[in-house]
Amino acid sequence: MITTIEGGITAPAGFRAAGVHCGIKANPEKLDLALVVSDTPATAAAVFTTNLAVAPPIVVSREHLQASRGQARAVVINSGCANACTGDQGRQVAHLMAAETARAVDCDLEEVLVMSTGVIGVQLDPRTVTQGVIDAADTLAADGHMRAALAIMTTDPFPKERAVEVASPRGTFRVGGICKGSGMIEPRMATMLGVLTCDAAVPAPLLQRALSEVTEHTFNAITVDGECSTNDCVALLANGASGVSLGQADLPLLEDALYEVCRFLATEIVRGGEGATKLVTVHVTGARSYEDAKQAARAIANSLLVKTAIHGGDPNWGRLVAVAGRAGVAFQLSSAAVRIGDVVLFEAGRPYDERAPLAADYLQGKDIAVAVDLGTGGSDEATMWTCDLSKEYVQINAEYRT
């Protein structure tokens, strides 16, 4: 049985967290450096951005995870500066962040993962982050979850955390997590920063398998603006502090627990997307393959015309058909169908535009579901989550640096 509990990323036993202001952000009230530490050795897994303009912290984290063969003790994260496109100097600072963390929490260098988020192309000041790591290590606490969640935010309107307790025949264990999102959110990778903790003991390869599978259906099934960042990363640490050990046979159990946490966090990212006023669930059915279904759902979820129509409460179902038709997947217009909420507006190639007012009423809500059947007769399906596109998105992103 899986129960939602308080405590976010420090709900699992043996994890401490901290969030401090070290000066990367100008506003002294904004936290800008987070630290998550396992008191004992932990296995680790991670999913990284597929962007080829990959940022130095991601390069460092990937190297460390490989060198440690899936072991980690700490994750250090700064916000306010992505340390991306920063060349050799950026690599040195990312290494420094890891080294200072290893020294402060007394672990091997390779047991530290580094993440950064914020503006691209600006150098991170080495003295500022060094002081931040020292301050964070000094304030690590078993109830530090919310400060860590706050310290990784950029334009996020609210912090995002979640924790669950799993009662199983193997015993009781917990999974917790924090994440940040807001802009540059695209589904082809984790599309954001996320840190997950688990107090079961899980072999590293199994942990990686579970994280990759769950990410595909949660963090990789959301989009705000179709942008894949240079810094995207989700990491998961499992330290065994609960006394529970999970093996191959427990993979479904672990995935269920992770799914519960990650789906909540992923949809929270969409709800908190830049300028978002509605959470939109896009469900595509009647596809020839899961890949086709996901590709069509992604195209719909990224369509400016769909997102603006939903923002305006306009049941412009024709735009859904048009996007499905250009999505690059098998599509049969004469058998296709479109539903907004429970209202069928197009079926078997025939429009029912007279039902548009019903759909318009439904679109006044905050939680919107749209469904498209690709009409191929196939039985594969996929779900994506997105938000509407508002003038506020434009405002936020036209003035991000100024």
Phi, psi of 377 (to 5 degrees): 85, -5
The CB-of-203 to a copy of itself minimum distance in angstroms stands at: 32
CB 208 within 8 A of CB 47: no
In three-state secondary structure terms, 245 is strand
Sign of the torsion formed by the C-alpha atoms of 48, 160, 27 and 394: positive
In three-state secondary structure terms, 310 is helix
Catalytic residue among 43, 130, 191, 223: 191
Element at 116 (helix H, strand E): strand 112-119
Size of the residue set binding a copy of itself (CB under 8 A): 68
Q: Of the two residues 249 and 398, which places its CB atom closer to a copy of itself in the complex?
A: 398
For 302, other C-beta atoms within 10 Å of its C-beta total 21
The CB-of-192 to a copy of itself minimum distance in angstroms stands at: 14
The CB-of-213 to a copy of itself minimum distance in angstroms stands at: 23
Q: Of the two residues 87 and 171, which places its CB atom closer to a copy of itself in the complex?
A: 87
State the binding string over 295-314 for a copy of itself (x if CB under 8 A, else -). --------xxx--xx-xxxx
Does 364 sit near a copy of itself (CB under 8 A)? no
User: Which two structure tokens, joined as six digits, stand for 96?
Assistant: 């420094």
In three-state secondary structure terms, 237 is strand
Give the angle subtended at the CA of 34 by the CAs of 49 and 50, to the nearest 5°: 0
Does 97 sit near a copy of itself (CB under 8 A)? no
- Round to whole Å and give the CA distance between 237 and 47: 12
Is 154 one of the catalytic residues? no
DSSP character for 125?
P
Does 317 sit near a copy of itself (CB under 8 A)? yes
Q: Of the two residues 38 and 302, which places its CB atom closer to a copy of itself in the complex?
A: 302
User: Which two structure tokens, joined as six digits, stand for 384?
Assistant: 């994506």
Among 105, 120, 175, 244, binds a copy of itself (CB under 8 A): 120
Residues 177-196 that bind a copy of itself (CB under 8 A): 183-184, 186, 188
Q: Which stretch binds a copy of itself (CB under 8 A): 1-9, 196-204, 214-222, 317-325?
A: 317-325
The CB-of-124 to a copy of itself minimum distance in angstroms stands at: 12
Q: In the beta sheet, which residues pair with residue 164?
A: 4, 175
Does 126 sit near a copy of itself (CB under 8 A)? no
Q: Which residue has the tokens 């932990």?
A: 42
Q: Which stretch binds a copy of itself (CB under 8 A): 16-24, 104-112, 133-141, 220-228?
A: 220-228
Q: Of the two residues 177 and 378, which places its CB atom closer to a copy of itself in the complex?
A: 378
By CB neighbour count within 10 A (0-12 exposed, 13-18 middle, 19+ buried), where does 266 fall?
buried
Residues 57-86 that bind a copy of itself (CB under 8 A): 82, 84-86
Phi, psi of 47 (to 5 degrees): -120, 130
Q: Of the two residues 23 and 325, which places its CB atom closer to a copy of itself in the complex?
A: 325
Q: Of the two residues 85 and 167, which places its CB atom closer to a copy of itself in the complex?
A: 85
Q: Which residue has the tokens 């989550």?
A: 385
- Round to whole Å and give the CA distance between 257 and 244: 14
Does 50 sit near a copy of itself (CB under 8 A)? yes
Residues 237-296 that bind a copy of itself (CB under 8 A): none
In three-state secondary structure terms, 201 is strand
Q: In the beta sheet, which residues pair with residue 231?
A: none
Binding site for a copy of itself (CB under 8 A): 50-54, 82, 84-88, 119-123, 183-184, 186, 188, 225-230, 303-305, 308-309, 311-314, 316-319, 321-326, 331-334, 336, 345-346, 349-351, 353, 389-391, 393-395, 397-402
Query: Any idea which residues carry the catalytic annotation?
Result: 191
